[in-house]
Chains A and B, each alone.
Chain A
Amino acid sequence: QKEVEQDPGPLSVPEGAIVSLNCTYSNSAFQYFMWYRQYSRKGPELLMYTYSSGNKEDGRFTAQVDKSSKYISLFIRDSQPSDSATYLCAMSVRIQGAQKLVFGQGTRLTINP
């Protein structure tokens, strides 16, 4: 079993739809929970991170963590064509000043105008 499981999609929705992306994990030692966005032929960029159960909102994006169920989600409201990208969930543990990130497989999202 992989430490982090993410449905690879692809996922295609119309512009303006609400998008829900999800990951499950098995390692209780994970301390931080993140969502990265990766455009084609680019490096991943951090969208949001949180370390506690609950919701965190940033504009059209909401990250949700449920540590008891080992489940995290990213919601995108009023989705735009510019949101089309691969979304990677990531979990981390801190090791002597470094942060070991374990990524999900990534979900390829397409927003259709």
Chain B
Amino acid sequence: DTAVSQTPKYLVTQMGNDKSIKCEQNLGHDTMYWYKQDSKKFLKIMFSYNNKELIINETVPNRFSPKSPDKAHLNLHINSLELGDSAVYFCASSQIHEQFFGPGTRLTVL
């Protein structure tokens, strides 16, 4: 069974559109994260939620808005998509030290 799942796996859209990525974990973890991995494979944290509370909010444009409806879900909504938003977005969850990553959502903005 998949521990951390993301939908969709691929997302191709036009500049200016609004899109959402969904993440679910079935590990019973309290903490979830969103990361962005650019074309050079550099992986950078964006947000973290602990028990539905926003804990980490890195320097991310306001167009990105995370939302955690419950401990097992963390969604990412992106408004007014720009070319520079093209990347792979990873969701992760953790209980103590180890973070378990999802398979990633490859976003391409045309």
A residues apposed to B, CB below 8 Å: 8, 32, 34, 38, 41-46, 49, 86, 88, 92, 95-103, 105-106, 108
Contacts and interface: CB of A to CB of B under 8 A. Distances in A.
A103 B4 CA distance: 20
B41 A43 contact: no
A106 B43 contact: yes
Measured as residues with beta carbon below 8 angstroms from the partner, the interface class of chain B is 20 to 34
Contacts of B30: 97
B interface: dominant SS: strand
Interface in B2-40: 4, 30-31, 33, 40
Interface of B: 4, 30-31, 33, 40-45, 48-51, 55-56, 90, 92, 94, 97-104
B50 A97 contact: yes
A102 B44 CA distance: 7
B98 A49 contact: yes
B97 A49 contact: yes
B98 A97 contact: no
A26 B51 CA distance: 31
Contacts of B44: 103
A85 to B, nearest CB: 11
Contacts of B104: 41-43
B31 A98 contact: yes
B40 to A, nearest CB: 7
Contact of A106 (B41, B101, B102): B41
